[in-house]
Structure 1
């Protein structure tokens, strides 16, 4: 029997964007200097980070022009990825918070999500060698928002198609300098342990909206 012609549409997809920003070398040198100087004078905030340094969430206040420029780019991206309920483009009056992370050897981030926001993301200033050496770990890991449901009744089976193999498990993104990564804030995520000897530096952010009262 010949193969049937089947049209498969991936419904209820989770939008995830990865953007390599131009001019990363100059931008990242400036951001590295600003972030490491801040780390010298301010203790780490305890959040999802396991080890490493997590700044306060007011990066746009102390990060200077490089921080404001980066958030402007991120806001332009989330505007392109957002519509109203009819599908028309919209530019919400976003609330923005951002913070810096510096991760050394064996640092990681526990599984978490970002409540109270619509879009979240990260920009990678330094990857600590992760992009060149996969044994160093440090990957950004995203969990299937359906949880284990696709694997519960038949864990030996997977959905056919490009994205079927990760159903019920996880996808990862390898950090690299200049990568801007955006995802819905409800998406559970973590950072796998970094096993290098350098520094993995990133800037995380949230875009939310004030409650409308409707």
Structure 2
């Protein structure tokens, strides 16, 4: 009997904070206040294409002492540790030896803000946590979409009835996600992605982070 298997899957992980409203209210207030301080907290050397309606902070967010940052950091990194342990088949003793280093920052995006295609060098796993989604314009489902580019660069070189409608996880389309407050997504750092232009009122606020890790000696 014919067997169909996927040989090159890309692992993603999803979770939601158990009490996001309280946490996100505190985070939003903190981030808006820090944004108002301008260059003190802004990324001094931006590389990825973006425009003026998007504010990007420095990359030291998880080192901040505020309790809401500590709570967010612990939530995010605990999920990274769980993901890494599961995918690598680490036993409990090995998981306790895992040291995770993380760089983290926040984005505040207002109308027409976008963030271009990029990935995250010098890291194995990355994540995005949604603080606020903003109020998207009606009938604009792509507003502020976190869009992951299909990693098989030749997947669309020829499309016909044999591959146009492949079911997941074999599809040839990119993957787009409209983040909701409290939602966390984890993905391999090498995977190219972008944030499409935000069309709406208010602020779209997210926290992004990159993780590199090693195992301590037993």
The DSSP-based 3-state class of the residue aligned with 1:68 is: helix
Q: Would you say how many aligned residue pairs link Structure 1 and Structure 2?
A: 204
Distance of 2:179 and 2:88 partners within structure 1: 35
Q: TM-score, normalised by structure 1?
A: 0.85
Contact 2:134/2:202 (8 A) holds in 1: yes
| Contact 1:31/1:63 (<8 A) preserved | no
1:32-54 Cα distance to aligned partner (Å, 9 max, x none): 01100100113332243333100
Secondary structure of the corresponding residue to residue 116 of structure 2? strand
Task: Give the drift of 1:78.
Answer: 1.1
Give the TM-score, by structure 2 length.
0.84
Gap regions ≥5 residues in structure 1: none
Structure 2 residue 14 is the aligned partner of structure 1 residue 18: yes
The verdict on how the C-alpha distance between 1:172 and 1:63 changes in structure 2, with shifts beyond 3 A counting, is farther
Is 1:73 matched with 2:75?
A: yes
Residue 31 of structure 1: aligned partner: 27
SS in 1 for 2:15: strand
**RMSD, aligned α-carbons:** 2.5
1:134 CA drift (Å): 4.0
Unmatched 5+ stretches in structure 2:
none
Distance 2:201 2:186 in 1: 27
Per the TM alignment, residue 132 of structure 1 is displaced from its structure 2 partner at its CA by 7.9
CA contact (8 A) 1:142 1:171 kept: yes
Counterpart for residue 40 of structure 1: 36
* Counterpart among 195, 200, 204 of residue 196 in structure 1: 200
CA positional deviation for 1:145: 1.4
Q: Give the Cα–Cα distance (whole angstroms) in 2 for the partners of residues 47 and 63 of structure 1.
A: 27
In structure 2, the partner of 1:99 is: 105
Residue number in structure 1 paired with 2:120: 114
Of 191, 194, 207, 1:187 maps to 191
